[in-house]
Amino acid sequence: MNEWRYWFAEQKGTLLALAIFVVMFVIYTSNHPAGLTANVAQTAANKGVLLAFVAMAQTLVVITAGIDLSVGMIFILTNCLASWLVVGTPAETAFGVVVVLLVGLLCGAINGAIVIYGRLQPIVATIATGAVYFGIALLLRPFPGGSVNEDLADALTGRLFGYVPSSLVALLAVIMLVWVPFSRSVYGRAAYAAGSSEVAAYMSGVPLKRGKFMAYTLAGLLAAIGGLFLTFFTYTGEAAYASGNAYTLFSIAAVVLGGVSLFGGRGSAVGAIFGAFAFRTIGDLLFVFDFDPLWQPLFQGVVLLVAVSLGAFALFRVKNRLEWFG
């Protein structure tokens, strides 16, 4: 029993995010004119997966007590790049995918290098690199356009066995191949340690810098996977500034909903994924309730405001006012 208590304490954030998502999704599907069909699930999954990848990317950095305000721009940049490269024969397509992922890795590595070895504050550094990545995206696609290998795109955005959205399978694969090994590795632990207490981590001889660098680099990779999927969904590349910004902001919202501490050291990418799905579902709720789309931004904003304020209720239980100050 005791063991379960510790496990539960550790997973509390993730479980809460899962619960929020399930509730939202049930409300959504039960009010959807078509109910929960394979089609509805597929559309929901595809929309959610995009934000899920970017939120995972954000999680990795947030765990180190950093923040990556360039994830949205890496997402856009890799989308533009993919719209040039992920075309043609299977071999060419494969090559394109690899290059896109490598560019994502590189972007993340640049962020990591500037923050860790250049010792700049992540907020400012990634704002600046975000501008650079967006500039490059704009160079690649001054106007929306391009194309993508549609066979691959359809395969990855369609359904497996008639029911299972393949984008969800892809997401699961990425969790298993990127998140699980990282979080269980020495470097993953170093990233958590760095986020929780950098001084203590240094004193303990943890490979701090490499752990943090790895987190930023893999964040770039995950954002690039998101960019690839965006291309698969839209068949085009577009250097959309507003969209990049929105994804960055939504990724932070998803991370918070997913129980990842913005102060670092606590949380899981899985939680952030549920956070992303929950956030997406919130946006879709308006659709099933037949609201004027004009109200969607306000609704999303209010939900976000309420969601982040809910966490504050724990505050009323705080009996020692010093705990306000962390």
Residues 66-125 that bind another protein (CB under 8 A): 67, 114, 118-121, 123-125
Tokens standing for residue 75: 């997402």
Residues 120-159 that bind another protein (CB under 8 A): 120-121, 123-125, 127-139, 142
Least distance (Å) between residue 205 CB and another protein = 3
Site stretch for another protein (CB under 8 A), options 33-41, 94-102, 143-151, 204-212: 204-212
Looking at 189, 243, 283, 288, which residue binds another protein (CB under 8 A)? 189
Q: Which contacts qualify for 274-277: CB closer than 8 Å, 24 or more apart?
A: 274/14, 274/17, 274/18, 274/20, 274/21, 275/17, 275/20, 275/21, 275/55, 276/48, 276/51, 276/52, 276/54, 276/55, 276/250, 276/251, 277/21, 277/25, 277/44, 277/48, 277/51, 277/52
Site stretch for another protein (CB under 8 A), options 12-20, 82-90, 219-227, 241-249: 241-249
Q: How many CB atoms neighbour CB 243 within 10 A?
A: 16
Closest to 277 measured CA to CA, from 241, 251, 243, 246: 251
Residue with Cβ nearer another protein (122 or 226): 122
Least distance (Å) between residue 218 CB and another protein = 15
Burial class (CB within 10 angstroms; exposed 0-12, middle 13-18, buried 19+) of 150: exposed
Residues 5-34 that bind another protein (CB under 8 A): 6-7, 9-10
Residue with Cβ nearer another protein (146 or 265): 265
Looking at 193, 218, 223, 225, which residue binds another protein (CB under 8 A)? 193
Looking at 61, 77, 256, 282, which residue binds another protein (CB under 8 A)? 256
Tokens standing for residue 238: 């577009």
Looking at 253, 272, 273, 278, which residue binds another protein (CB under 8 A)? 253
Residues touching another protein, count (CB under 8 A): 84
Q: How many CB atoms neighbour CB 84 within 10 A?
A: 18
Looking at 26, 160, 172, 249, which residue binds another protein (CB under 8 A)? 249
Site string for another protein, 290-309 (x = CB under 8 A): ----xxxxxxxxx-xx--xx
Residue with Cβ nearer another protein (41 or 198): 198
**C-alpha torsion sign, points 53, 283, 73, 275:** negative
Q: 145 pairs with which residues across the strands? A: 237
Q: How many CB atoms neighbour CB 37 within 10 A?
A: 12
